[in-house]
């Protein structure tokens, strides 16, 4: 378990905490293992599926990122003293460190917006009939849930893969 009191490591960001172990062939942030993969390989897998199956896999991808990513988000939340704006700042930095694009949270009444430029999922998808950035949608859901303690649902409203200038997401809370 990463030491949540290690504020120096937390302040340095994910990139400074990642440990590459050549003997094991692994990358870790504390107990959490990471995988480095080309986005064209990942998204090319989805492109080889028929449309309805691709949509199902995208939804499963978002659910899995939300379920597993919430562990990382809770760790960030503890590291920043359970302060929601600081959680968002730490998530923006972690997303950049992971190569998940440039994120900007846009909090609103009863919602949490997120704008992303340079999404690797949109870039890897080339062109798509529906939004391609399911992993980011899942992570937004985890951030919104952890920041408020209320279960949320997240949606990708516009996607670069569909011709939009940037990817735009929104999380809404069940109670709103
Ligand atoms: Zn997108």
d(CA 13, CA 93) in angstroms, rounded, equals 7
126 Cα: distance to centroid of ligand 1 (angstroms): 11
Q: For the segment 87-120, what is each residue's pLDDT rounded down to a tens digit?
A: 999 999 999 999 999 999 999 988 999 999 999 9
94 Cα: distance to centroid of ligand 1 (angstroms): 18
In the 8-state DSSP scheme, what is residue 28? E
What pLDDT score was predicted for residue 167? 98
What pLDDT score was predicted for residue 70? 92
Q: How many C-beta neighbours within 10 Å does residue 6 have?
A: 13
| pLDDT greater than 60 at residue 138 | yes
pLDDT band at 72 (very low <50, low <70, confident <90, very high): confident
Q: How many C-beta neighbours within 10 Å does residue 44 have?
A: 13
Q: Which residue has the higher pLDDT, 29 or 103?
A: 103
Contacts of 91 (CB under 8 A, 6+ apart): 73, 76, 103, 105, 139, 143
Q: Quickly tell me which residue has 């649902």 as its tokens.
A: 153
| pLDDT greater than 50 at residue 1 | no
What pLDDT score was predicted for residue 174? 75
The pTM (predicted TM-score) of the whole model is 0.89
162 Cα: distance to centroid of ligand 1 (angstroms): 8
User: Which residues surround the ion ligand 1 when the cut-off is CB under 5 Å?
Assistant: 119, 122, 133, 159, 167
| pLDDT greater than 90 at residue 67 | yes
What mean pLDDT value characterizes the chain? 91
Percentage of residues of the chain with pLDDT beyond 90: 78
**Strand 102-108 to strand 111-117: parallel, antiparallel, or no bridges (unpaired)?**
antiparallel
25 Cα: distance to centroid of ligand 1 (angstroms): 31
Q: Which residue has the higher pLDDT, 8 or 136?
A: 136
Determine whether 5 is exposed, middle or buried from the number of CB atoms within 10 Å of its CB (0-12, 13-18, 19+).
exposed
Note the Cα 45 to chain centre separation in Å.
19
33 Cα: distance to centroid of ligand 1 (angstroms): 25
pLDDT band at 128 (very low <50, low <70, confident <90, very high): confident
């Amino acid at each position: 378990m990463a030491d949540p009191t290690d504020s120096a490591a937390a302040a340095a960001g994910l990139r400074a905490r990642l440990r590459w172990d050549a003997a094991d062939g692994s990358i870790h942030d504390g107990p959490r293992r990471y995988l480095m993969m080309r986005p064209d390989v990942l998204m090319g897998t989805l492109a080889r599926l028929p449309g309805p199956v691709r949509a199902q896999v995208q939804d499963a991808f978002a659910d899995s990122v939300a379920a597993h990513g919430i562990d990382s988000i809770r760790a960030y939340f503890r590291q920043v003293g359970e302060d929601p704006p600081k959680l968002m700042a730490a998530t923006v930095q972690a997303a950049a460190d992971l190569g998940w694009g440039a994120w900007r949270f846009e909090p609103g009444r009863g919602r949490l917006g997120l704008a992303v430029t340079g999404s690797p999922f949109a870039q890897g998808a080339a062109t798509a009939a529906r939004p391609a950035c399911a992993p980011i949608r899942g992570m937004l859901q985890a951030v919104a849930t952890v920041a408020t303690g209320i279960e949320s649902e997240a949606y990708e409203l516009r996607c670069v893969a569909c011709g939009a200038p940037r990817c735009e997401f929104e999380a809404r809370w069940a109670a709103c």
